[in-house]
Structure 1
Amino acid sequence: MNNKVLLERNGIRFTLCVMAAVSAVCALGVNQSVRQMNILQLMQGLPVAVGIGLAVGIAYYGTMRSILPRLSSLHSAELWAGLSWFNLSLLGTWAIVLPLETAQIDFIEGFAYAAGCARLIGAIYVVFGSSLSNRKKFANTFVMLTVTIMLVITVIKVSLALSLGLVGALSIIRFRTAIKEPEELAFLFFTVAVGLGFGAGKMGITLMAFWAVCIGYIVFYKIRSTSQMENAYMVTIYGTQPDLIARTGQFMSENGFPCEFTRLESGASSTHISFLTELDANSACQVLGQRFREQFPENDITIVQARSLF
């Protein structure tokens, strides 16, 4: 990435961070002055609010620029993308100063917050999730799911008849696609809960719970002892030796490839061993295949990216 593109990207991130902080601080201040019908307080307090927002935004950007690469040096751009969506959604805070009914203001705010939070949830799932399936493709559904739940709750919360009609309508729907891993189900429930909270008009509580869950999940990811395979490959070895498992394990350990055995097929004439290993790049895959052929010329090996199996 050249310096011009990098500067442009950092400039956009900085602008969104500052804009989010200024929007949140100024909108709350303007709303308070408007409610009190105090124009003098508005004129005096707005420059102060802008200054506070700028200071908070600059500190916010500096903190995120320091933290995000440390959380994931390889995928910090994905985290920044999710955070930028969230920052952009904070423009919905200005809805509180519009001359609209409370229900309409709650809808505008909730819709913006739901989209931003869902995109950030997707980024966290892509970077820190441990599922072997295509996390990026799965996370792309979070925004639509969250805003749909938010819209449904907004519509039915004012009418018992509509809520009963929704129960009848959903009773004819059959979801036949199985959730492969519990982590996927947990993130689906998380996005649904965020949509429910914003749809019910509980903006502050939902935002606090959202950040608490996200930070807690990242902290748990960092401190848990089990190793994560971000670039998992399924390796299958075919041979006839009775001690093939022990020899393969020793080979992987000596060459610095972490592995987790998943399958063993042993027959009268051959033995098949399958295990997961983590390879950082295609060159590492070639190195593994080359070293294996040199040490086990009589055996065959197959290496397949694990995510392509799901």
Structure 2
Amino acid sequence: MSVKDFIKKSVLENFSPYNVPQMAAALLAAVLLGALIYWVYQRFYAGVLFSRSFAMTLVGMSVLTCMVTLAISSNVVISLGMVGALSIVRFRTAVKDPLDLLYLFWAITAGITTGAGMYLLAASASAVMIGALALLSRWQTAGRIYVAVLHYQGEKPGDEIVRALGRNRYAVKSKTLRGEAVEMAVEVCCRDDVRDVTDRLQEIEGVEDVTMIQYNGEYHG
């Protein structure tokens, strides 16, 4: 068989009516998995502002990746064209939250596996991902992280502050001295109610004010 005959056969097979149900099933599976990823992202989102547009992008990413996989696997001509077209695409949108990359790759791999007809693999991997996210999210919320900023006079309140934190894990991040005035920033993992911790710190003699700032442990530039 010559190259010309091979390409012609590939084009004819691509438009075969027997492939339509298979393509429809793959696209439907990609939509369902994309919707599942959307729900998981919304359920376990721990940031300040939920981005609905990014969540919708996850659904579209699954469907489009599935479409590309179907095109590449069913037609050699389109596959060569896709390789050339995608090689010149450059995505310059910065992803600020590293966890968003996880959801992006999840959506892409879901589209690839459904496009390849590996529905069991896609469903199994999604179940494992949901279980891992649920477990890690539950472990992470065992204690909320706060940064306590305290202003006090002298050195004596410093020891009282350590005792007031009790069983909560803490780490002194900074300590600024201005004569007798002291400003101290402490990272606290509050297993107790944050209001109880704040009240204990405020009751220490010499402490002028206490500010508790919730902190997720990440810096975004």
CA contact (8 A) 2:161 2:201 kept: no
**Structure 2 residues without counterparts, runs of 5 or longer:** 1-15
Q: Structure 1 239/295 Cα, relative in aligned 2: closer, same or farther at 3 Å?
A: closer
Whether contact under 8 Å (2:143, 2:189) holds in the other structure is no
Shift of 1:196: 1.4
Deviation string, structure 1 residues 119-169 (Cα, Å, up to 9, x no partner): 33344455557xx53485387243233223223333444322322233234
1:166 paired residue among 82, 85, 101: 85
Percent identity between the aligned chains?
14
Match of 2:110 among 190, 194, 202: 194
Equivalent residues of 2:170, 2:189 under 8 A apart:
yes
Q: 1:268 to 1:227 in 2, by over 3 A?
A: same
Are positions 1:298 and 2:207 aligned together? yes
Letter in 1 for 2:136: Y
**What is aligned with 1:112?**
28
- Aligned-partner residue type, residue 235 of structure 1: A
| Partner SS for 2:62 | helix
Maintained 8 Å contact 1:264/1:274: yes
Structure 1: how far apart are the matches of 2:31 and 2:195? 42
Distance in 2 of aligned mates of 1:262 and 1:153: 52
Q: In structure 2, how many angstroms separate the alpha carbons of the residues matched to 1:192 and 1:128?
A: 19
Contact 1:156/1:162, CA 8 A, preserved across alignment: no
Partner deviation per Cα, 1:280-307 (whole Å, 9 max, x = no partner): 9xxx555443443222553322223436
Q: Which residue pairs with 1:145 in the alignment?
A: 61
Question: 1:295 is paired with a residue of what secondary structure?
Answer: coil
After superposition, the C-alpha distances for 1:157-197 in whole angstroms (9 at most, x for unaligned) are 43223222332341x4323x24433x443333222211211
Match of 2:185 in 1: 273
What is the aligned length?
197
CA distances 1:33-90 after superposition (whole Å, capped 9, x unpaired)? xxxxxxxxxxxxxxxxxxxxxxxxxxxxxxxxxxxxxxxxxxxxxxxxxxxxxxxxxx
Matched residue SS, 2:97: coil
Amino acid at match of 1:289: T
Q: Which amino acid in the other structure matches residue 261 of structure 1?
A: A
State how 1:111-260 maps to structure 2 within 5 Å.
Answer: 111-125=27-41, 127=43, 133-134=47-48, 136-137=50-51, 140=55, 141-157=57-73, 158=75, 159-170=78-89, 172-175=90-93, 177-181=94-98, 183-215=99-131, 217=132, 221=136, 227-228=140-141, 232-242=145-155, 246-253=159-166, 258-260=168-170
Structure holding more strand per residue:
2
Native 8 Å contact 1:232 1:279 kept in 2: no
Question: Does the Cα contact within 8 Å between 2:176 and 2:184 map onto a contact in 1?
Answer: yes
List gaps (5 residues or longer) in structure 1. 1-99
TM-score (norm 1): 0.49
Q: 1:269-289 deviations in whole A, cap 9, x for unaligned?
A: 433213144489xxx555443
Structure (1/2) with the larger helix percentage: 1
Report the Cα distance in structure 2 between the residues aligned to 1:246 and 1:152, rounded to whole angstroms. 63
8 Å contact 1:150–1:199 — kept in the other structure?
Answer: yes
What is the TM-score when the length of structure 2 is the normalising length? 0.64
- The corresponding residue for 2:13 is none
* Greater C-alpha radius of gyration: 2
1:165 partner amino acid = G
Question: Whole-Å Cα distance in 1 between the matches of residues 158 and 42 of structure 2?
Answer: 33
